[in-house]
Amino acid sequence: MADTVPETVWRSHGRSRRSTRTVRISFSAVIVAAVVLAVLIVPPIVQLDEQAVDLSKKLMPPSWEHPFGTDDVGRDLLLRCVYGLRISLLVGLVAALVATVIGTLVGAAAAAFGGWTDRIVMRLVDTFASVPHLLLGIFIVAMFRPGVWPVIVSVALTHWLSTARIVRSEVLSLRSRPYVDTAISGGASRWRVTARHLLPGVLPQAGLAAVLMVPHAMWHESALSFLGLGLPSHQASLGNLVQTARGSLLAGDWWPTLFPGLFLIVPTLAIAGLAGAWRERINPRRKSELML
């Protein structure tokens, strides 16, 4: 009798993938929860001024008193990183929400009305998408004084394009469903069909786009601040902290650059990990492919 491959090999392989995915999701959830607790609880509990200057403690390495060390003017780097993460999360969340709302409305309107409206809107989307995000963001933020809201406006106005394309394709798919044809045959207007049947159907995809956009917006804010076009230099943000620490890094002091960089990289990877799990849940076909 010819040898056959036991079926248990495939089952164990699938269980191994599921176990790895569960560990990844759990680890990402723990990191996101720790980040949220840190930015909400640490500043009120510590009751220290993150702008307090103490030149006698300039560029102290990590120690029990200062776990992340101090910066070039003696400020506690751990507290500065927490405040910087707070600002970066605020920019990321608000900008992602605004960009998602704009992209959802534009994409849904283009697909619902179709015809010339769809062609004109999508050509405008392609035109804006042809310009690099960072270049367009620099142009927008340069028209305002440095601050949080100009950065939020810049990120939101440059990151709604992908959401518009996703929502448009999803609405075009929903338009072919029988219940939509029934609503149209019953005399429902395009606005009513869009509001009652199409928009609720694209909310999971729009929510996923918003979550995926948060890390992107945080990196965009950090890039603008690093270039000196985002937040004021005295205000703690992860981009400002990395930009300020460049001189210290060249002098051999690694901690002012390492810890703000980790505060930016680790939370964004954790958010992306949770978003990937959400994508597998709302897209069963992709999930089944990943389980093979």
CA–CA gap between residue 202 and residue 249 (Å, rounded):
47
pLDDT value at residue 4: 53
Read off φ and ψ for residue 76, nearest 5 degrees.
Answer: -65, 125
**What is the Cα–Cα distance from 145 to 161, expressed in whole angstroms?**
25
Which pLDDT value is given to residue 229?
A: 81
Q: What is the predicted pLDDT for the residue at 3?
A: 52
State residue 148's pLDDT score. 85
- Contact criterion met (CB below 8 Å) for 221 and 137: no
**How far apart, in Å, are the Cα atoms of 130 and each of 124, 127, 156, 215?**
10, 5, 17, 22
Quote the CA–CA distance of 148 and 163 in Å, as a whole number. 23
Q: Are 217 and 159 in contact (CB under 8 A)?
A: yes
pLDDT at residue 292 in the model: 30
DSSP 95-131: HHHHHHHHHHHHHHHHHHH-HHHHHHHHHHHHHHHTS
* Whole-angstrom distance, CA of residue 186 vs CA of residue 183: 5
Query: Do 239 and 134 meet the contact criterion of CB atoms below 8 Å apart?
Result: no
pTM value surpassing 0.85:
no
Contact assessment for residue 53 and residue 73, using Cβ atoms and an 8 Å cutoff: yes
Residue pair 141/239 in contact by the 8 Å Cβ criterion: no
What was the pLDDT predicted at 98? 92
Is residue 171 within 8 Å of 244, Cβ to Cβ? no
| Displacement of CA 211 from its chain's centroid (Å) | 6
Mean pLDDT, 10 residues at a time, the chain of 292 residues: 48 58 80 83 68 75 83 82 87 90 88 83 86 84 84 88 87 76 68 73 82 86 82 79 80 83 87 79 50 32
Confidence (pLDDT) at 9: 45
